[in-house]
Structure 1
């Protein structure tokens, strides 16, 4: 199984970015200074690469080598652009199904969702460049290899992806408890996309506002929410149930 590759050192990471390597996340030591560091920061901003400022102890745990204050993860998969993904899928599918993840942060939840997405025929997953869980070796393992099978696109903002999908005649459904509508009352019989939120905050209110529909799951126990990967599975299989007799 291919694992996430780590590279370290400011110059090496700059060279990797300029060479087009799929950098998934960069960890930067807090308080780092210098012209080369400023150059790296500028490139990260320009390319929209996810970066976290962390204590040096975190970097020491990531690598035993001379990291020079910066460690980067090269993703084991390549990412699509939103336009490339949507155009590719809609050209070949009458009933495309997309999944948007609004700043999901846990790599194992991410992997479990990718696995369920592959099993339910999801045509593509869309995540945000910043704030989203990276594709790590744990993600690949938890997905049971499905991360190599389901196309994943990165966008600057999930809201922009919602607008683009809607402009492509794809209905967007937000999975949220902040509605009275049950998932079973939402039609999934056309081209659609489902949005799942982060583990702690759910979907951003501004994104819920622009979605075509909002839907929730019935919770009959005392605990107020499901694990996001479990909830995602229920939503996806409701879409499968409704679509099973329709022409793909």
Structure 2
């Protein structure tokens, strides 16, 4: 696998150097002072990690991993507040996309591709629970991942409050409403929130939204694939803004 760092000290140095780490795999049951120090650094920096059998680490790398392998993102994540400030200064009508726990890397890549085509100014994802940017993400995005700024935040709800304080309306895509997408006004600065593949938008995020809208579903199936639904939402923004006189 590409884009890896292995070894406890090497990973701690990467964290200190603020390398864009997707996730760290730690050997289950491993102890020792240095290993515990790495665990502390991971928690302190809010980096996604999981404990796995040594066999998985051996499959990830043939090198001496010392019980720890980190996956490095092929793109550098943006600082959220700086991203919002830059967009607010540069764009007349800011357009953001927030992804609440989208976990499939191919869905993530497809969403990034559509977002780039629709002129989204920035994508915001949570540090924990979100799909990492892998080689599959890059391929599915057709390289769009290198063209759209992506920011990671500790809590999506706090990001929503910041956007709202910046004059950006935050609108969620959810079936838990009677309001259809065509009733929403996307001509003003806005951010669209898409929920997880299985659970949709989380309750805490739902409570923070300015508006909730849904797509009309005329068949027997109760929902669309999240990347497809996201595409419909983003292009409704494009449609509305293209008709502004």
TM-score (norm 2): 0.96
Q: What is the rounded CA distance, in whole Å, between the counterparts of 1:106 and 1:227 in structure 2? A: 11
Q: What is the rounded CA distance, in whole Å, between the counterparts of 1:61 and 1:220 in structure 2? A: 46
Match of 1:181 in 2: 179
Q: CA deviation at 1:49?
A: 1.1
Structure 1 stretches lacking a partner, 5+ long:
none
Per-residue Cα deviation, 1:116-163 (whole angstroms, up to 9, x for no partner): 000000000000011111111111111000000000000000001000
The two structures, once aligned, show a CA RMSD in angstroms of: 1.3
**1:93-242 equivalences in 2 (<5 Å):** 93-242=91-240
Structure 2 stretches lacking a partner, 5+ long:
none
Q: CA deviation at 1:239?
A: 0.6
Match of 1:65 in 2: 63
Q: Which residue among 48, 52, 55 is the counterpart of 1:54?
A: 52
C-alpha distance 144-31 of structure 1, shift in aligned 2 (>3 A): same
Is the Cα–Cα contact under 8 Å of residues 174 and 211 in structure 1 kept in the other structure?
yes
Q: What is the rounded CA distance, in whole Å, between the counterparts of 1:4 and 1:139 in structure 2? A: 13
Per-residue Cα deviation, 1:162-201 (whole angstroms, up to 9, x for no partner): 0000000000001111111111111101000000111111
TM-score (norm 1): 0.95
Q: CA deviation at 1:18?
A: 1.4
Secondary structure of 1:187's aligned partner: coil
Q: What is the rounded CA distance, in whole Å, between the counterparts of 1:4 and 1:84 in structure 2? A: 29
Is the Cα–Cα contact under 8 Å of residues 4 and 76 in structure 1 kept in the other structure?
no
Q: CA deviation at 1:61?
A: 2.4
Aligned length: 245
Q: CA deviation at 1:56?
A: 2.4
Match of 1:15 in 2: 13
Per-residue Cα deviation, 1:21-46 (whole angstroms, up to 9, x for no partner): 21121111222211111111111112
Q: CA deviation at 1:55?
A: 2.4
Is the Cα–Cα contact under 8 Å of residues 4 and 75 in structure 1 kept in the other structure?
no
Secondary structure of 1:86's aligned partner: helix
